[in-house]
Amino acid sequence: MQYTIFGQNSRQGSYILLIRLEKRIEVAFGKFMKGVPLELEQGHYLYVGSALGGAKGRFPLASRLLRHASRSDGNPAHAIRSALLDLFKSWEYRPPAGQNGKKLHWHIDYLLDREEAEIEHVFIFPGASRLESQLASHLDSMPETSTVANRLGAQDAPSGTHFFRMGDTDAGLARLETAWAKLAPGESDRSV
């Protein structure tokens, strides 16, 4: 499975990336902590984000997730990118012609640009509701997750973080599937 959708097709929404890190690395997340690198252990991480805004003709959810699944300087994209592109095309997304290379901007860009990091799965919550804080709060309360650094990936949030390390991945994902399904009651979820 590469993605799970909670809700109906929408041009905007919130999401969680499940990121696998192949080995221990040090990453400077842009200007976060004045550029001091953080040590990340091998394993799984979760990143919470959103892509909202419904300007006519725009598709922020597809644009953001496809951007996350790309790398800068012509480096190979994450394997999940082609499945996401196919998904969003089925939602009538049309990729813009002639895009330039990816520039690193958000904290998470600095990790996702590394070859040791791979997006394994995306949990997608289509819709206009901003669920970032609710999702991050839930992740923070779980025994299977831990905060990597306060405010990492959440500079626009009043507190907390949007980036977590996941210890017991199987137990954590089972707990998340149950909890996240409750965020979209009556909606279908589709896993691919």
- How do residues 116-172 score in pLDDT, each as one tens digit? 999 999 999 999 888 888 899 999 999 999 998 887 777 666 667 889 999 988 888
- Among 161, 149, 165, 166, CA closest to 38: 149
Q: What is the average pLDDT value for the chain, to the nearest integer?
A: 86
pLDDT the model gives residue 78: 97
pLDDT the model gives residue 119: 98
pLDDT the model gives residue 176: 82
Q: pTM here?
A: 0.91
pLDDT the model gives residue 75: 92
- How do residues 76-119 score in pLDDT, each as one tens digit? 999 999 999 999 999 988 887 766 678 888 889 999 999 999 99
Asked if the model's pLDDT at residue 60 lies above 80, the reply is yes
- Among 43, 7, 5, CA closest to 24: 43
Q: What percent of the chain has pLDDT over 70?
A: 86
pLDDT the model gives residue 169: 87
Q: How far is Cα 184 from Cα 80, in angstroms, rounded to an integer?
A: 24
Report whether 113 contacts 71 (CB < 8 A): yes
pLDDT the model gives residue 186: 47
